Amino acid sequence: MASARTRQTDTNRRPDDENDTARLRAAEQRDAIADARDVAALARDQAAAARDVAITQTAALDEQPDGAVALPGADIPTRAAEPRQRAAHRRADAAEHRVSAAEDRLMAERDREQAARERRRSLVDREMLVSQLQRERDLRHKALGLKHRAEQLARTLQRSLSPPRLPTIAGLDVGVRYEASAPEDVGGDFYDLFPLAPRRAGFFLGDVCGKGPDAAAITSLARYTMRTAAMLHETPDAILADLNAALLMHTDGQMQTCTAVYGQIDTSSQVAAVTLAVAGHPPPLIVRANATIQAAPAHGTMLGVVENPIFVTCQLELAIGDAIVVCSDGIHDITLDGIRVDEHRVAQLLSGPSQASAQDLVDRLMLALADVDRPLRDDVAIMALRHTS
């Protein structure tokens, strides 16, 4: 059995999220710059106020009388000269203070205006970012709704292309499973089991190349062509030849290809007789009651390619407890433990305790899909028929 592996998740951020984060950081930087400019403006206002105080003090000194200090024996002009000179210096200093204070106030006003512009730009960016995020949320919500609708339509169409329930055939234990690679798309895998006579049934499993509506149309054509042909022909190779002709007629200028396995099983005796024909499909595997596994030797040309395909049919016998397992080639597109699954690995996955039921055999393969290294690239269909009596 394959070992469990830890799934890795993609932690890369979307480019849109990174752009939004960058814009938000830019807005925060503008706010920080505006705050710094406000602080600078406040400092300049404080400096200007300090200069106003100095100017007031200088003016108070200038109001003192020139002759406040009397010098005995000196004449009046000599006594007044020195105070007047000091007063002139103080007035010059006061004028310089007034100029510096005016410059500080002007620079403070400019800083405030610049801070206001930065805040307006920050606000506009935030409003634009909020609007953009709202639009993106609306688009994502709409996209999720469309995806959900597409998934519903795909599931409905897929159910219409696959039998809702396989019939009960005397002497057969049946197991089946279908795993879609993309829920929102219609796959090209198909299968069916139907009675041809008492204790005799026909079965097939195939894979149309491609996905979507075109593949769905070919899938429908293949299912109903094979069921109709089964009522008219005895041999599986003739039924596949009819499907090949139908595909060539349905081309509309484009090649429509398909792989398929068709078989007939008769459980009227202790040993069930199986006749198989294969068209470009992985060969069915025979799982014996003693747990040995072998591939059926049937092979043939892919359908829808040439007008005269060649099919090598084979006849097999299933003892009680033996089973035949048919898989679509989607299981060969998966990777386990870094190695792509091939026919030999499928046989290994099927191996296990003997006398397993048909559904047990199917579940052994489906359990391996839970351990794949990456998502499924193609749909996987599996059908098992086990002879019981």
Q: Quick check: is 5 in a domain? A: no
- Verify that 120 and 240 share a domain, yes or no: no
Report the pLDDT value the prediction gives residue 205, as an integer from 0 to 100. Answer: 94
Output Rg (C-alpha) for the chain, integer angstroms. 45
List strand residue ranges (DSSP E) for 159-257, in order. Answer: 172-179, 189-197, 200-208
pLDDT of residue 303: 92
SS3 state at 293: strand
**Any idea what DSSP says for residue 203?**
E
152 and 171 housed in the same domain: no
Residues in Cβ contact with 84 at an 8 Å cutoff, skipping those fewer than 6 apart? 66
CA-wise closest residue to 240 among 254, 230, 255: 230
Domain that holds residue 251: 167-387
The residues near 283 (Cβ < 8 Å, ≥ 6 apart) are: 261, 295, 296, 297, 298, 299, 343
Looking at the domain assignment, is residue 369 inside a domain?
yes
pLDDT score at 332: 75
Show the tokens assigned to 112.
């405030």
Regarding beta strands 339-340 and 314-318, do their DSSP bridges make them parallel or antiparallel, or are they unpaired? unpaired
| Residue 4 domain flag | no
What's the CATH number where 327 sits?
3.60.40.10
Within-domain flag for 328: yes
Q: Collect all residues with Cβ–Cβ distance below 8 Å to 386 and sequence separation of at least 6.
A: 172, 173, 174, 175, 318, 321, 322, 323, 357, 358, 361
Taking each helix axis as running N to C, give the angle between helix 358-369 and helix 343-350, from 0 to 180 degrees, rounded to the nearest 10.
120
Last residue of a domain, one of 122, 156, 190: 156
Same domain for 207 and 338?
A: yes
| C-beta of residue 235 within 8 angstroms of C-beta of residue 223 | no
> Which of 106, 123, 156 represents a domain boundary (last residue)?
156
Q: Do 240 and 124 sit in the same domain of this protein?
A: no
pLDDT at 181: 66
Among residues 130, 156, 182, which one ends one of the domains? 156
pLDDT reported for residue 275: 95
| CB-CB contact of 54 with 40 (8 Å) | no
Are 24 and 147 in the same domain? yes
CA 272 to chain centre: 47
SS3 266: strand
Distance separating alpha carbons of residues 275 and 320, to the nearest angstrom: 17
Strand order across the beta sheet in which 200-208 lies: 189-197, 200-208, 258-266, 272-279, 314-318
According to DSSP, residue 330 is labeled G
| 264, two tokens | 């007939």
Indicate whether 3 belongs to any domain: no
Does residue 316 share a domain with residue 188? yes
Q: For 248-306, where are the E strands, in sequence order?
A: 258-266, 272-279, 285-287, 293-295, 299-300
Per-residue pLDDT tens over the stretch 337-387: 777 777 888 888 888 777 789 999 998 888 877 766 565 667 888 999 999
234 and 114 in a common domain: no
Specify if 162 maps to a domain.
no
Tell me phi and psi for residue 119, to 5 degrees.
-65, -40
| pLDDT digits 0-9 by tens, 260-290 | 999 999 999 999 999 999 999 999 999 998 8
Three-class SS state of 236: helix
Under a CB-based contact definition with an 8 Å cutoff, are residues 92 and 98 in contact?
A: no
Give the position of tokens 């595909």. 247
Of 370, 71, 88, 52, the C-alpha closest to 44 is 52
Q: What is d(CA 108, CA 114) in angstroms, rounded to the nearest whole number? A: 10
pLDDT at 156: 47
pTM of the model: 0.59
pLDDT at 99: 73
| 35 and 54 inside one domain | yes
Find, among 325, 374, 376, 380, the residue nearest to 351 by Cα: 325
- Does 113 share its domain with 185? no
Q: List C-alpha distances in Å: 355 to 220, 322, 386.
A: 35, 8, 10
Position 8 in a domain = no
88 assigned to some structural domain: yes
Residues of the chain where predicted confidence (pLDDT) is lower than 50: 1-13, 66-71, 73-74, 153-154, 156-158, 160
- Residue 87 pLDDT: 64
109 and 256, same domain (yes or no): no
How many domains are there within the chain?
A: 2
Token pair listed for 26: 């830019």
Place of tokens 């792989």: 259
Same domain, 171 and 124: no
How many whole angstroms separate alpha carbon 329 and alpha carbon 311? 18
Structure tokens of 111?
A: 């800083």
Q: Are residues 125 and 173 in the same domain?
A: no
